[in-house]
Structure formats: structure tokens, C-alpha cells
Amino acid sequence: MSKLKVRKKRISHRKILLYFTIFLVVISMILYKLADRYFIEHVEVKNAITNNTSTKSNQYAEDFTADNWSYASDSKKITIKKRTTSASRHKTTYFVADVQLKDASSLKSAFVKNQFGNNIIEFTSDIAKENNAIFAINGDYYGFRDDGITIRNSKIFRNQPARTGLALYQNGSMKTYEETDTSASELLSSGVTQTFSFGPILVKNSKTTKDFGKLSIDKNFGNRSIEDSNPRTGIGIISPNHFVFIVVDGRNHNYSDGFTLDEFAKIFEDLGCTDAYNLDGGGSSTMYFMGRVVNNPLGKHEERGVSDIIYIN
């Protein structure tokens, strides 16, 4: 083989090696960006909510009576019912918690490890136990996105208006609102203690939302329409300090298919809710009560990590 051919062959091998190296670098960068966006923890605020507690010495400190499905004291009453609907199209199991509070301050929110940021996740039941919760559901999974208005326990954490939000007030009322029409500081000054950014609105002024269409909540990687039958979590209100929390199991045809948004909204309307709002669902949908997970996530008894909960203590 001539020296020229040998030289050309070496150059060719070097080009292949260079291209392969560039390919690996590009793939590594893409994988890192995906991991950084969806898996690597990013803590923005430590000790986020000062009135949260990790001690269990005061758990269930008040006098109360309780069993696996109810709790009653001078300050709160919680009744949970398991229901199954069997239609010609599908069968669905869901859990309704009727909650009546004497004071709205009993209704709180908590972050994983009491830290605000992205990709910080834990099971709903674990967050609930860490915060001495009597009752809890998963929240809006704020940590999956970087927009929305986030006020928790009367403290502002994020002010990036993006969608229709939910606001809970210190007087025990609940309202839905367009985030782009206001700001976190305006909401806080009006008496808002908690906001959640997910949606859509299920019931407003005692009427269910019509024509959900192919609604999507986010433009994040892996997002899809949420209109089809799915596991769901939602909150509704009947009157000040009288709330309804519903968690629907689904995506397991042998156990429970789940609800469409129309079906989910109708349940809240039938229960007498004047307003209701859809929270994070799917594998996140979890209801916790007195030390146990009440529902059966995805029909597998397996919780999915979430970033936040709504709870009562």
C-alpha cells in the first residue's frame, strides 16, 4: 500500500473518530439537559414553610374519635367514602372525603423536605407523615414546571402567571382565577393563603365546565391530553370551610378505568360543590388518612413521588 493511501486511510479513521466523539458529546449534553430538567434536584428555598413541623409529639393532640373512614373533633370533621360506578363503558373506583373545618388554618400545604424547587419528590404518604397530617392528598406537582403562581401557607414562592389557578382564602372560601389577570402579591393582600396551578376548572358557580376538548395543562416533555379516562385528584367547596376532596383510581381495567374530565366534574356538581378544581392526577393521585393510603394508585398499591401535598392537621 502506498504512503498516500495509508495517509488517506488514517485521515479517514480520524474523521470517523472525531464524528463519533462529537456524536457522544451531543448525546451526553442532551441526556444531561433532560436529567437536569426532569430528575436532578434543584433546591431554591430551604426551610420553606416556617410553621411546618417534623416532630410527631403533637400529632392528633386534640380529643377526637376516629376509625378507618372518619375523624371527628371540636375543630374538624372528616368522612371518607369509597364509591364504585359501573357503567356500560367502564368501571371506576373513587374516594370522596367530606371535610368540615372550624378554622381554615387547619388546611395547609407542604413541600417535600420543606424545600421549594424542582424535581424534589417523595410519596404523598411520607410527606403527610412528616407533617403530622390527619388527612392529605397530592397537590399540583409544582416542581415539574417552572411557571404558575405559587403561594403556600401565606408565603409567595413563584410569580409566573401561566394558566387558570386555584386560590384558598383565610376565611375558608375557595375561588378559581386567571393567573395572567393578577399577581401573587395582589392575591396575598386579598387574603389568599394557598394557590395551586394545574386545572382545569371543573365547577364554577355551581355549574360544570362544558367542552373540555383536547385540553393540555403543560407543554413539558411527555405531556398529553388529560381529557381521557384517568386517575384524578380534585378539590371542591360546598360552603366556607366545607370542602370535598376526591381521588379517582384508574388505568387498570381489571380494577378501575378512571374518569374523563366531564365525569369528574359531574361528581363534584352532584355533591353540591359550588366550585371545583382539577389537581395533578395519573400516578400521583393519592389519598392519605390516619397513617394509611386510602386508595390504590394505578391499581398496583404503588405511589408515585410528588413535590407537594394539601393536608389537614
Q: How far apart, in whole angstroms, are the C-alpha atoms of residue 64 and residue 174?
A: 27
In a domain, 57, yes or no: yes
In a domain, 95, yes or no: yes
Q: What angle do CA 114, 115, 120 make, to 5 degrees?
A: 110
Q: How far apart, in whole angstroms, are the C-alpha atoms of residue 78 and residue 134?
A: 9
Number of domains in the chain: 1
In a domain, 9, yes or no: no
Cβ 199 vs Cβ 141: under 8 Å: no
Do strands 242-248 and 91-101 pair parallel, antiparallel, or not at all (unpaired)?
Answer: antiparallel
Q: According to DSSP H, which parts of the chain are helical?
A: 3-38, 124-130, 184-189, 261-270
The pTM score is 0.87
Residue range(s) defining the domain that contains residue 50 = 41-312
Residue whose C-alpha is closest to residue 201's, from 223, 175, 183 = 175
In a domain, 1, yes or no: no
Coil vs helix vs strand at 121: coil
Check residue 9 and give its pLDDT: 62
Check residue 301 and give its pLDDT: 92
Check residue 86 and give its pLDDT: 74
Place of cell 373533633: 73
Q: How far apart, in whole angstroms, are the C-alpha atoms of residue 168 and residue 177?
A: 11
Tell me the pLDDT of the chain (313 aa) as tens digits. Answer: 566 665 666 667 777 777 767 776 666 666 656 555 566 778 899 999 876 554 444 456 689 999 999 999 999 999 999 999 876 567 999 999 999 999 999 999 999 999 999 999 999 999 999 999 999 999 999 999 999 999 999 999 999 999 999 999 999 999 999 999 999 999 999 999 999 999 999 999 999 998 776 555 555 444 445 678 999 999 999 999 999 999 999 999 889 999 999 999 999 999 999 999 999 999 999 999 999 999 999 889 999 999 999 999 9
In a domain, 298, yes or no: yes
Check residue 211 and give its pLDDT: 75
In a domain, 36, yes or no: no
In a domain, 246, yes or no: yes
Residue 290: left (phi > 0), alpha (psi -120 to 50), or beta? left
Check residue 220 and give its pLDDT: 46
In a domain, 10, yes or no: no
